Structure 1
Amino acid sequence: MPQISLISLISPLSSPLFLSLYPIAQSSNTSLLLTRSFQVHSTLDIFEARLPTKSADADFGLLYAVDENLALYGWLTNTGVRIVVGVDFGEVEGGQERERGMGVHEGELKPVFKAIQSAYVQLVCNPFHQLEDPNKPITSKRFANEMRRIAETWKPDLV
């Protein structure tokens, strides 16, 4: 069953703000973290190419199919922060072929993107949060926990 395997936020100046892999144990794998960081950063060109045809708070849909198991989807906020969510479709057991059309249907990730954006807005609007440089990585444990909650509770519509 598909599950969220990464959440990333990228600043309007293309600085990585947040990247976490799920299940959380994967975040300690430095090689995998570096690979996923590179893959997320490669989606920036796709955001730029599609930007003239999109409006603010736009769902960019599928940005990059890394392989048959991982796909990266994107969202652009009205402040220029780009949100990338990676969906892992899991291994196909016993050499069976994956069903045709299996993937995330349009709109299934919209609640995820809105929840991530809402958590980000709460973070930057928090008067106790020190935001000296909006291009520095997010270090808030509360924000990281909220991202983990979003990733772990998302279930695709299995219609």
Structure 2
Amino acid sequence: MPRLDEDAEVEVKLDSGAAMLQQAIPAILRPGLFEAPGARIVAVVEFASTMYTGHASGEDKDPQVKLRIKLAEVATEGDQIRLLREVMRAMYRQRKMNGTLDELGPGSHDVDAAVELLLAEHPTEGEFEAHEAQQRAVKQGHGRVESFG
């Protein structure tokens, strides 16, 4: 892959493979998105670059990269939405403080604290794995719970 100059502008486009987005948006939210153009949802999204387009030296075109959504989770509750927006604002403020934006927003400047607050009320990976194991056990036992003792 060719190397870019430090000051090169790279145009970012979304890949048409948006299957993860379809899966991440709960069915209950989809009609509202259709019925109310401009409606918003808040999500945590992971992208992967899938393709790049370069141009010959001296061409007056920016290099392009396409991103595909690999993972996405949509906030469905008021508290989740509020906390995700606080994380977004904190990340925005951090970019501003690093000199990449023009305005500094109100509120906390601590991204780590905002993320910690967001995660405090959500299951840990261990709790999720225990839940999954319990669900598998229920399926294997066809819903029967037996007590030995």
Is the pair's TM-score, using the shorter chain for normalization, greater than 0.5? Answer: no
> Normalised by the size of structure 2, how large is the TM-score?
0.29
For the pair shown, the structure with the greater C-alpha radius of gyration is 2
Greater relative contact order (CA < 8 Å, ≥ 6 in sequence):
1
